[in-house]
């Protein structure tokens, strides 16, 4: 487990909370592993009917810890816990609720595409700036985000790093409700409890009918391969070096 992942039980609801507020809940390798293990355990625990993802502090998550990305770009070999967590989301059969009080960056945004109910702060900021780091989308978001909000908007989010407010996310159908930040977690908890009271068999069958799991996992596999290739690219090395040196990256001398 990780000290930065807090797992709580509230009756039939399992809460998985990102608890690294001093780093805006940036996800380390250990955090991905702990969150995945909790999510997978919930699938086989008959007493758990709903999983809720939340966070401590003002951010949901700033996404992957940049130090891990930089290490991978530099050739360091690590267990791909981020991709294992993402795959667990894609495979999850029980309903997932998310409470997003603030920043949701990278995987913090793309994981919401695998959540069945999403509650966001009106002032939350959702972004997928993968190309800014010379990378590509993950979590099957290259498939799911255009389906949800359209190709043009999704392409701008991926390649230009454009963000959405919580209010915009609600309008575009990425969230069930946009509420004041202090009301996000209570709203998500209330929804999770209400969902847990529904007939579980019917809920699971409905979720299966609404998701093409095979297609989602296939897209995740394709993204994972290209993502790994991109991490080893000269563009990625420049992006992470620039980030470490606190300067804008210069891709003008690099080819694809």
Residue 70: band (very low, low, confident or very high) from pLDDT cuts 50, 70, 90: low
- Residue 196 has a pLDDT of 98
Q: Is position 227 within any domain?
A: no
Query: Which tens digits make up the pLDDT trace of 210-231?
Result: 999 999 999 999 999 999 999 9
Distance separating alpha carbons of residues 174 and 160, to the nearest angstrom: 19
Residue 256: band (very low, low, confident or very high) from pLDDT cuts 50, 70, 90: low
80: CATH: 3.90.226.10
Q: Is position 240 within any domain?
A: no
Q: Is position 247 within any domain?
A: no
> Average pLDDT of the chain?
94
Q: Is position 12 within any domain?
A: yes
- Residue 201 has a pLDDT of 97
Contact yes or no for 89/43 (Cβ under 8 A): no
Q: Which residues contact 119 (CB under 8 A, 6 or more apart)?
A: 97, 98, 99, 100, 175, 176, 177, 179, 184, 187, 188, 191
Total length of the chain: 256
Q: Is position 207 within any domain?
A: no
In terms of residue numbers, what domain contains 86? 5-180+197-202
Strands 96-100 and 5-10: unpaired
How many CB atoms neighbour CB 223 within 10 A? 23
Q: Is position 124 within any domain?
A: yes
User: How many structural domains comprise the chain?
Assistant: 1
Q: Is the pLDDT of residue 77 over 70?
A: no
Residue linked to tokens 């509650």: 119
Q: Is position 125 within any domain?
A: yes
Distance separating alpha carbons of residues 233 and 237, to the nearest angstrom: 6
Q: Is position 255 within any domain?
A: no
Q: Is the pLDDT of residue 23 over 80?
A: yes
Residue 127: band (very low, low, confident or very high) from pLDDT cuts 50, 70, 90: very high
């Amino acid at each position: 487990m990780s000290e930065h992942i807090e797992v709580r039980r509230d009756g039939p609801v399992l809460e998985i909370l990102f608890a690294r507020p001093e780093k805006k809940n940036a996800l380390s390798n250990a955090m991905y592993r702990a969150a995945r293990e909790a999510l997978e355990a919930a699938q086989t625990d008959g007493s758990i009917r709903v999983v809720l993802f939340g966070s401590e502090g003002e951010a949901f998550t700033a996404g992957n810890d940049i130090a891990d990305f930089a290490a991978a770009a530099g050739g360091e070999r690590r267990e791909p816990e981020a991709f294992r967590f993402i795959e667990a989301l894609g495979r999850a059969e029980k309903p997932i609720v998310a409470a997003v009080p603030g920043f949701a960056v990278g995987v913090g945004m793309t994981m919401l595409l695998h959540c069945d109910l999403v509650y966001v702060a009106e002032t939350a900021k959702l972004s997928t700036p993968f190309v800014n780091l010379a990378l590509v989308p993950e979590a099957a978001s290259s498939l799911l985000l255009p389906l949800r909000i359209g190709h043009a908007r999704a392409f701008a989010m991926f390649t230009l790093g454009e963000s959405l407010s919580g209010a915009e996310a609600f309008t575009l159908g990425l969230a069930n409700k946009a509420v004041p930040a202090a009301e996000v977690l209570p709203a998500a908890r209330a929804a999770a409890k209400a969902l847990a009271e529904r007939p579980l068999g019917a809920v699971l069958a409905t979720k299966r009918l609404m998701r093409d799991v095979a297609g989602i996992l296939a897209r995740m596999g394709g993204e994972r391969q290209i993502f790994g290739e991109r991490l080893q690219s000269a563009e990625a090395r420049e992006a992470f070096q620039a980030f470490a040196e606190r300067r804008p990256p210069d891709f003008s001398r690099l080819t694809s």
